[in-house]
Amino acid sequence: MTYNIMTCGVGGQGLMLLSNIIGLACAENNLNIRTAETHGLAQRSGSIYTHIRIGDDAFSPLIPYGEADALLGMEAIETLRYIEFLKPNGIIILNNYIWHPVQSTYERVKNPQGKYLNIESIINKLNKYSNHLFLINALDIAIEAGNSLTTNVVLLGALIHTKDFPLSFNQLEETLPRVVPKSALDVNKKALFLGYKSIE
Amino acid sequence: MISDVIVEDKERAFLFCNEAIVRGALESDVKVVAFYPGSPVSEILDTFFQISEKFGIKMEIATNEKVALEIVAGASMGGQRSLTAMKSVGLNVASDTFFSLGYTGINKGCVLVFADDPFCHSSQSEEDGRFFAENSYIPMLEPTDPVEAKAMVKKAFDLSEEYHTLILIRTTTRINHQSTIVPLEPLNRSDFKPQSFRSFNKKYSTVGVRARELKLEMLKRREKIRDEFENSEFNNVIEGTSKIGIITSGVSYNYVLEVKNKLKINPPILKLGTTYPLPEKLVQNFIKELKAVIIIEELSPYLERNVKTFAKDVNPELKIYGKQSDHFSEAFEYNVPIVYNALRDIFQIERGKDYNAILKNANQLKSILPTRIPVFCPGCPHRATFWAFQNAIGGKSSNIAFINDIGCYSMLLLNKEIYSKLHPDDLLLAMGATLGTGSGISLASEEKVISIIGDSTFFHAGLPGIVNICNNDENILVIILDNSVTAMTGQQPNPGTGYGPGNAPKNKIKIEEVLNGIGFNNIFINDCFDAKNAITSFKKAISQSGPTVIISRGPCALWNDRNKRKRGEKIQPYFVDQQICRKCHTCMRDFYCPAISMEDKETEYVDENGKEWRGFSSHISSELCDGCGVCSILCPYTNHEARSERDVIRILNKPREVRHDL
> What Rg do the C-alpha atoms of chain A give, in angstroms?
17
Q: What is the rounded CA–CA span in Å between residue B343 and residue B337?
A: 10
**B580 and B543 belong to one structural domain:** no
Mean pLDDT of B505-530: 97
- How many structural domains does chain B have? 4
Point out the least confidently predicted range of B17-21, B31-35, B393-397. B393-397
Considering the four listed CATH numbers 3.40.950.10, 1.10.10.10, 3.40.920.10, 3.40.50.620, the one that applies to the domain covering A3-198 is: 3.40.920.10
Which chain A residues have a beta carbon less than 8 Å from that of B251?
A: 61
Which chain A residues have a beta carbon less than 8 Å from that of B180?
A: 32-35
**B479 and B622 belong to one structural domain:** no
Q: Which of A62, A102, A149 sits opposite B660 (nearest CB)?
A: A149
Chain B residues 556-595 with a CB less than 8 Å from chain A: 585, 588-589, 592-594
Q: Is residue B373 in some structural domain?
A: no
Q: Is residue B661 in some structural domain?
A: no
Which chain B residues have a beta carbon less than 8 Å from that of A17?
A: 661
Cβ <8 Å between A84 and B362: yes
Cβ <8 Å between A100 and B257: no
Q: Is residue B513 in some structural domain?
A: yes
Residues with Cβ < 8 Å from B208, sequence gap 6 or more? none
B542-573: per-residue pLDDT in tens?
999 999 999 999 999 999 999 998 899 999 99
**B510 and B420 belong to one structural domain:** yes
**B159 and B257 belong to one structural domain:** no
Q: Domain containing B593 — which CATH number? A: 3.30.70.20
> How confident is the model at residue A40, as a pLDDT?
62
**B355 and B392 belong to one structural domain:** no
B445-504: per-residue pLDDT in tens?
999 999 999 999 999 999 999 999 999 999 999 999 999 999 999 999 999 999 999 999
**B391 and B332 belong to one structural domain:** no
Which chain B residues have a beta carbon less than 8 Å from that of A102?
A: 375, 415, 418, 592-594
Cβ <8 Å between A64 and B335: yes
Domain that holds residue B251: 236-366
Mean pLDDT rounded to a whole number for chain B:
96
CA distance to partner chain B, nearest, from residue A94 (Å): 16
**B486 and B461 belong to one structural domain:** yes
**B251 and B388 belong to one structural domain:** no
Q: What is the rounded CA–CA span in Å between residue B634 and residue B649?
A: 10
Q: Distance between alpha carbon B272 and the CA centroid of its chain, in Å? A: 26
Cβ <8 Å between B370 and A104: yes
The model carries a pTM of 0.97
Judged on CB neighbours under 10 Å (0-12, 13-18, 19+), B186 is exposed
Nearest CA in chain B to A128: B365
Q: Is residue B498 in some structural domain?
A: yes
- Given a cut of 80, is residue B96 above it in pLDDT? yes
Cβ <8 Å between A42 and B340: no
Q: Domain containing B331 — which CATH number? A: 3.40.50.920
B414-440: per-residue pLDDT in tens?
888 889 889 999 999 999 999 999 999
HEC string of B399-437 equals HEEEECCCCHHHHHHHCCCCCHHHCCCCCCCCCCHHHHH
Type of residue found at B436: G
**B281 and B406 belong to one structural domain:** no
**B477 and B577 belong to one structural domain:** no
Q: B408 — contact with chain A (CB < 8 Å)? A: yes
Q: Is residue B591 in some structural domain?
A: yes
Mean pLDDT of A148-175: 95
Q: What is the rounded CA–CA span in Å between residue B136 and residue B158?
A: 20
**B167 and B269 belong to one structural domain:** no
> How confident is the model at residue B661, as a pLDDT?
42
Mean pLDDT of B11-20: 97
Which chain A residues have a beta carbon less than 8 Å from that of B411?
A: 41, 44
Q: What ipTM was reported for this prediction?
A: 0.97
**B223 and B248 belong to one structural domain:** no
Give the whole-number percent of chain B exceeding pLDDT 90: 93
Q: Which of B178, B358, B598 sits opposite A65 (nearest CB)?
A: B358
Q: Is residue B371 in some structural domain?
A: no
- Three-class secondary structure of residue B333 per DSSP: coil
Q: Is residue B181 in some structural domain?
A: yes
Cβ <8 Å between B258 and A104: no
Cβ <8 Å between A46 and B373: yes
Which chain B residues have a beta carbon less than 8 Å from that of A115?
A: 600
Count of residues making up chain B: 662
Which chain A residues have a beta carbon less than 8 Å from that of B254?
A: 59-61
**In chain A, where the domains are located:** 3-198
Q: What is the rounded CA–CA span in Å between residue A31 and residue B199?
A: 51
Quickly state the pLDDT bin for B600 (edges 50, 70, 90).
very high
Mutate to test the interface with B, among A5, A100, A102, A116 (most CBs of B within 10 A): A102
Cα dihedral B21→B22→B24→B26 (10° resolution)? 170
> How confident is the model at residue B623, as a pLDDT?
87
Give the closest residue to B256 by CA, choosing from B242, B238, B241: B238
State the CB neighbour count (10 A cutoff) for residue A155: 29
Q: What is the rounded CA–CA span in Å between residue B33 and residue B45?
A: 9
> How confident is the model at residue B662, as a pLDDT?
36
Give the closest residue to B552 by CA, choosing from B481, B628, B478, B455: B481
